Every structure is written in C-alpha cells, then in structure tokens.
Chains A and B, each alone.
Chain A
Amino acid sequence: NAGVMQNPRHLVRRRGQEARLRCSPMKGHSHVYWYRQLPEEGLKFMVYLQKENIIDESGMPKERFSAEFPKEGPSILRIQQVVRGDSAAYFCASSPDRGETQYFGPGTRLLVL
C-alpha cells in the first residue's frame, strides 16, 4: 500500500512565477491536509480538504494561495506570483476519515530565487 505521494520533491521558481504542488493521498483516504514548514520552525496548518470541498482554510494566506482536491486526480496547492518568503517545505497529509490520524508525504521543497 503506497503512502502519501507528493511531486515534485524539489521545485525551483523565480519570483513572480507560479508553483503547483501535487499530493496523492493514501489509497482509501479522502481527506487531505496541507502544511508548510519554514526553516527552524514547526509545521503550520494551511488547509484541509475533502473531495471537491474545502473544509478549513484558516491557515491559508489570503492572497496568491489556493488549494483544490478534485473528484479525480491529486490535490493541488497552487501559489501564484511566488516571493522569496514562500521558500519552504510543503507537506501533504491524508487520513481515511475526519480524524487526527494523519499520514504525511515526503514533502515538496520549494525554493524561490
């Protein structure tokens, strides 16, 4: 049973470009969570999605960031017009139900030049 998959594992963007991060949850999991980890900091919650629905986006910056989890395909975290402060590791987690047993993927490390 494959774990949570994220791609790309590393992403380099120049300021002003767009970044798209993908997350495929574990088989049978329909709940997806995105977290951001800045250097020397813990993980910060960004958004919680269920298939085709955003359940909680209280941790998402108001501008430039969006997330979706379509009926078919992976969850996407999209960052428009990236700035250097967006450089971080972005982790996706999934769970089989609306609970706290979240299993994390390996992360996508975004570097903005």
Chain B
Amino acid sequence: QKEVEQDPGPLSVPEGAIVSLNCTYSNSAFQYFMWYRQYSRKGPELLMYTYSSGNKEDGRFTAQVDKSSKYISLFIRDSQPSDSATYLCAMSAQSNTGKLIFGQGTTLQVKP
C-alpha cells in the first residue's frame, strides 16, 4: 500500500465548475500538507501549505485537512482553462526532515 493515494484521473470539467481533488494517506504521523500544481513539462509550483487539521483559503483555492480520516482536499472555485494541469498532494511528518511524500498526481482539464 502506498503511503499517499491519489486518483490520477484524468478529471474533465467545464469552465466555471467547482473542482474537488483529494488524497488519502496511511501514516498518522503526517502533519504538514501541501498542494502543488504542475504544468506539462514544468516543475511543480507550490499552491497551498497547511499544518495539521483545518481549512485554508487563498483566492479561488481552498485546502482542507481531516487528520481523523487521513484525508486532504483541494477545492478550486470558478475553474478556468488555465487551471488545466496535474495537481500533486504532498506531505511530511516532521518539520525538519525535508522529505516530502507525494501522491501520484491528478490530471485536471478545464474545458472552455
């Protein structure tokens, strides 16, 4: 079993839709949770960073962490064609290890 599970998709939605992306994990020691966006042939770009449980909002993006269920989500409101990319969840157990564990990534396509 992988430490972090993420549905690879692809996920296709019309422009303006609300997108929900999710990851589950097995290691209860994970405390730091991130979402990265990766465009084709590019490096990952940090979108959201959260510590422990709760919600965090930044513009059209909302990240949720439910540690009791070992489940994290990223919501994208009013999705745009420019949001079409692969979204990677990442997490780590301690602040000083530097080692991020990534999900496989979900490919999102937003159709105009």
Please give the residue numbers on chain A whose beta carbons come within 8 Å of chain B beta carbons, in ascending order. 4, 31, 33, 35, 40-45, 48, 55-56, 58-59, 91, 95, 98-107, 109
Contacts and interface: CB of A to CB of B under 8 A. Distances in A.
Contact of B97 (A43, A56, A104, A109): A56
B contacts with A: majority SS: loop
Report the contact-size class of chain B (Cβ under 8 Å from the partner).
20 to 34
Contact of B44 (A45, A58, A91): A91
Contact of A100 (B42, B88, B95, B104): B95
Interface string B59-80: 0000000000000000000000
Interface of B: 4, 6, 8, 32, 34, 36, 41-46, 49, 88, 90, 92, 95-105
A20 to B, nearest CB: 19
Contacts, number: 68
B19 to A, nearest CB: 19
Given A42-B6, A107-B43, A99 B96 contact: yes
Contact of B104 (A42, A98, A102, A103): A42
